[in-house]
Chain A
Amino acid sequence: MNQPQRKEEAVRIADTSGDQNQYLTFQIGREMFAVGILYIREIIEYGSLTTVPMMPEFVRGVINLRGSVVPVIDLSARFGRGESAINRRSCVVILEVEGINGDEEQLQEIGVIVDAVSEVLEIPPGEIEPPPSFGARIRADFIAGMGKVQGNFVILLNVQQALNTREMAELAAIVDAPKDARDY
C-alpha cells in the first residue's frame, strides 16, 4: 500500500533553516526539474492507482493517501511530451497547492508522477535566471526560472501554474464533452 517513504527525511530537511532556497530536484524524461521544498508534502512509491475515465491524458487517476483521495498528475503528459513510462524508480510526489474545490479556494494535495527523485539542493537566488522565452519546450508560464547547478540548468517549476486546478478542470471538461457520436 501507499506508505510514505521518505516523509521523515522531508520533514527534517524542511526544518533546517534557509528552506526558502531549497529545492527538490527530480527527473522527468531526461530533464531535471526542481520544486521549492515548501510545496512538498511527501514522496511515495508509485502504485495502486485508480484511473478516472474521461479525463485528459495528464490526469493519471487517483490514489488513496491515508484515507483521502488525491488526484495524480502526469507532468510529462501535462508538458505535452506524452505519458511517462512507469519504471522501478517512479515516484509520486505529493505537493500542496492552492486550488479550487467547488467554489472555494483552498489548499489541496495533488500528486505528480516523476521518473526519479534526485536530491534536495540549495539554489541561492543569485544562481537563478529568468525563464527563456522559448526553447524550453514547455509552456513559459510553467517555468519559474532556470537554476544553475554544477554547470547544468534545472527547470524551476511554477507549481501554482503547472498544477492550476481550475485550468486542468476546464481541460477535462473539453475532453468530457461529446466530441463525437461515440459508437456503442
Chain B
Amino acid sequence: MNIELALQTFLDESRELLSDMEQILLDLESQPGESELQNALFRCVHTVKGSAGMFGLDHVVDFTHVVENVLDRLRAGEIKLSKALANLLLRCRDHISLLVEVPEPAEAVDLQPAGNALLVELEPFQSLPASGNGQTPQPQNSEHGKGDLWRIGMRIQADALRHGMDPLGFIRFLGTLGELVSVNTLDDGLPRLDQLDPEACYLAFEIELRTTANRAAIEDVFEFAGDLYQLQLQEPGSAPEAVAAPATTDMDIVEAGSREGKMQPADQADAQRGRRRKPVQHFRVQADKLDHLINLVGELVIASAAVSLDADRSGNSTARESAANLNLLVEEIRDSSLDLRMVPIGETFQKFQRVVRDVSSELSKDIELVITGADTELDKTVVEKIGDPLTHLVRNACDHGIESPAERSQKGKPALGRVHLNAYHESGAIVIEVSDDGSGLNRDRIIAKAVERELVRADAELSDREAFNLIFEPGFSTVEQVTNLSGRGVGMDVVRRNIEALRGAVELVSPGVAGGTTFRIRLPLTLAIIDGFLARVGEATYVVPLEMVVECTELSAEQQAVSNEQHYIKLRHEVLPLIRLREHFSHGGERSRRQNIIVVRHGGQKAGLIVDELLGEHQTVIKPLSGIFSHLKGLSGSTILGSGQVALILDVPALMHQVAQHEDVANRGIHPNARPRLSASYS
C-alpha cells in the first residue's frame, strides 16, 4: 500500500460520507431535532475533516472545520436547523465534495471565492468564541489556550508508514483540536542500524494536549488508522505517572495496560463504536474483479452444461449423478456470485431527494418525495444505467405532473405535492414505479397530439392504455412550453429506449381517479445470466427468457387446422394470438408433425410462440451479439449451449411488437379488420 492508495481510500470514504451527509440533512428536515441524526451529521463532517487533515489537505480542513463548528452547535441544541440553514449546509456539502477532489491545497485556489462566500454565510451560525475574536474562520485560534490537559500515549505498528499513516499527520491534526503542549518522541524502539528496516516505523510518542474536546473526539482522530495505532489516553486530572506506561518499550505491557480495568472508559467507548458498526460489515472490492468473476462463472455454467450433456450421453449412471451434483453447485455459485453484485436500489432513490428538492424550489412548488421498497436489490450494472431514465421521469413528474400550489388548493388537494418512488420484486424482475399525485394525463390531448404528429390515425380506436402509451413514441411531447427542467427534446422515447436496452419495459399504468400518473418500469435483475427455456425450430435452437413463459402446451391437430386459417387460437376461453417462429424467421424445412406452443406474457399481453420441439430449461449466459446485428429485432443476444452450438435469445417484447406491426401493415391493405390485432388480447 502506498500513499496513492490511501488517498484513493480517503476519496472513496469521503464521497460516501458526503452522500450520507446529504441524506441526513434531508432526513433531518422531516424529523427535526432528531439527536441521533444530528450526531451522525457531525460525525460525517468530522471524519472527512480528520482524514483530510492526515493527508495535509488544508483547504479541506479549513473549510470543513467551520461547517463542523456549526454542526457541533446544532447537535448541542444551540441553534435550530432552519430551512435556510439546511439549504446552506447542502451547498457546503457540495463545496466540500468539490474540495475533496482537489489533491493539492495549492490547486484549490479556484474554489476559494465560492468557499469564502459560504463561510460568510455560515458566520451567523458559528459559535462566537468567548474571546470575541470570531471574524476569521481560523479554526484553531478559538480553542487554543483553554480546556483540560490530556496526556496521550501513542504506539505505532511497524508497518504504519507502509499504509500511508504518517504519525506526523496525526500529531498535526491533534493540534487542530487544541494546543499541543508537548510532544515527546520515544525512540527506544529503534533497533540497531544493521537491523533497521527503513520502511518501518519504530517510534512512539507521548503528547500533552490541551483541549476542550472529549475522549471520543480525540479517539476519532485516530479512527482512520484502524489497528495501526494504539492509544493510551490519560484523562485530565489523573496522576501523571500512569502515562509512563506507553514509554515502556515492551509492546506487551502497553497492550496489557490498555486491557486493564482502569481503562474501562476507553473500552466502553470502543464497545459502543463497535456496536454502531456491527450490523453490516462491508469491504470494498474492485468492480472489475467482480465482473471478471461473474464472467468466469458464466463460462463455468456453460462448461457444466457440456459436462451434463456428455454424462447423459454416456449412459453411465454415476457420471450422471456427479454431473447433476456439479450442476446444483454451479447453480448455487451462479446465484451467490450474482448476488455479490446486487445492491439495494435505495441508494439510487435517495439521490432523488435532492433532485426533487432542487426542482421544486426552482419551480416554486411544494413537493415531497416518498420512497418505499428501498431494500429491493438489483444488479449493480443495471443500477448504473437506470439513473438517467429515472431522473427524467422524476423531473417530469415534478414539472408536468404536480400542479402549482395555487392550482392544487383550487382542486382541494393538499398544497404539498407528492412524488412516490417504489420498488419491488415480481417474478424474476424488479419493478420500479414513479408516481405523482398531480393532474394526470389528458387522454384527449394525447390523442389529438398523436394524430397531429401522425402517430395514429384519427379514427383509430384506442384503449386507455394504448392512448397513454403513445407518449413513448418518438417525437411526442405534449407540453409546448420548453422549461428549464424537461421538454428539451429528450422525450419519453429516449426513456423507453434506455430501458429497453436493459431488456426492460416501461408503461404508463392507469391514472387513478384522483388524477396522478404512474410509470411502471420492469427490469431484469441481472444482465449476465438468465434462466431460459430452450425450444427447437427447424435446426435452430432458441432461448425464451423463462420469466416470460407462462405455460407450454401442444398444438392439437384441430387447433393446427384452425390456426392455419387464422392467427389465433382459443385457449381456455381466451384469445391467444400466435407467432409462428418458423415462418417469422423464414426457416426452411418441414414442420414437425407435432407442434408446440410456448405461451409467453409481456406487459399484460399474452402470445403463443409455435415451435417444433420443447427442450426444457437452460441456464443461459448472455453473450452480446456483434454490432452487425444491432438493428436486428426480435433477438436480444446469444448464448452457448452445452454442445458448443450457439443459440439465439428471443426478445419477446420486440417480437410481439414486430408481429403486431406486420399485421398492421397487412390490415391496412385489403381487409381492414380481418384479423384481430395482437394487442387485442388485453382489455
Residues of A that sit less than 8 Å from B by CB: 1-2, 48, 50-55, 59, 61-64, 67-71, 99-102, 108, 110, 165-166, 168-170, 172-173, 176, 178, 181-184
Contact = CB atoms under 8 A, between A and B. Distances in A.
Given A64-B646, A99-B627, A178 B585 contact: no
Contacts of A64: 640, 644-646
A108 B583 CA distance: 32
B302 interface: yes
Given A62-B626, A178-B662, 19 more contacts: A50-B648, A52-B632, A52-B648, A53-B584, A53-B585, A54-B632, A55-B632, A59-B628, A69-B626, A69-B638, A101-B624, A110-B626, A169-B631, A173-B631, A176-B633, A181-B663, A182-B583, A182-B584, A183-B666
B623 interface: yes
B629 A52 contact: yes
A69 B625 CA distance: 7
B255 to A, nearest CB: 53
Contacts, number: 110
A130 to B, nearest CB: 29
Contacts of A178: 658, 661-662, 665
How extensive is the interface on chain B, given as a class? 35 or more
B665 A181 contact: yes
Contact of A170 (B299, B625, B631, B646): B631
B299 A54 contact: no
**What 8 A-B pairs come out closest when comparing CB atoms?**
A53-B585, A181-B666, A173-B631, A100-B627, A50-B646, A69-B623, A71-B626, A165-B627
A108 B626 CA distance: 8
B632 A99 contact: no
Contacts of A169: 627-631
B627 A54 contact: no
Contacts of A71: 625-626, 628-629
B540 to A, nearest CB: 6
A169 B646 CA distance: 20
A88 to B, nearest CB: 21
Interface string B639-667: 01000111110000000001001110110
A51 B648 CA distance: 9
A63 B662 CA distance: 30
A152 to B, nearest CB: 33
B586 interface: yes
B52 to A, nearest CB: 37
A70 B665 CA distance: 34
Contacts of B53: none
Contacts of A183: 666
What's the dominant secondary structure at chain A's contact region? mixed
B50 interface: no
A169 B587 CA distance: 21
Contacts of B585: 53-54
Nearest to B610: A184
B634 interface: yes
6 contacts: A48-B645, A53-B585, A53-B587, A69-B623, A172-B631, A182-B584
Contacts of B629: 52, 55, 71, 169, 172
Of listed A67, A69, A169, A182, residue having the most chain B CB within 10 A? A69
A67 B302 contact: yes
B61 interface: no
A50 B628 contact: no
A126 B589 CA distance: 52
Contacts of A1: 644
Nearest to B583: A184
A176 B633 CA distance: 8
A51 B588 CA distance: 12
B629 to A, nearest CB: 7
Interface centre among B628, B647, B662, B663 (most CB of A within 10 A): B628
B632 A172 contact: yes
Contact of A67 (B299, B567, B580): B299
Given A51-B540, A64-B640, A184 B625 contact: no
A69 B626 CA distance: 8
A67 B640 contact: yes
A48 B632 CA distance: 22
Nearest to A105: B627
Contacts of B635: 52-53
A140 to B, nearest CB: 22
B586 A53 contact: yes
B645 A50 contact: yes
B664 to A, nearest CB: 9
Nearest to A104: B627
Interface in B578-604: 578, 580, 583-587
B567 A176 contact: no
B626 A165 contact: yes
B640 A69 contact: yes
B616 interface: no
A108 B631 contact: no
A99 to B, nearest CB: 5
Nearest to B662: A178
A71 B627 CA distance: 9
Contacts of A54: 585-586, 632-634
Contact of B628 (A63, A68, A165): A165
Contact of A70 (B567, B626, B658): B626
* Most chain B beta-carbon neighbours within 10 Å: one of A55, A62, A176: A62
A50 B632 contact: no
B669 interface: yes
A110 B669 CA distance: 41
Greatest chain B CB density within 10 A among A63, A64, A172, A173 is at: A64
Interface string B282-312: 0000000000000000010010000000000
A18 to B, nearest CB: 32
A81 to B, nearest CB: 20
Contacts of B662: 178, 181-182
Nearest to B627: A100
A54 B634 CA distance: 10
A102 B630 contact: yes
Contact of A63 (B633, B646, B665, B666): B646
Nearest to A73: B628
A101 B585 CA distance: 24
Nearest to A99: B627
A92 to B, nearest CB: 13
B646 A184 contact: no
A53 B299 CA distance: 26
Contacts of A170: 631
A69 B628 CA distance: 12
Contacts of A99: 626-628
Nearest to B539: A51
Contacts of A173: 631
Nearest to A170: B631
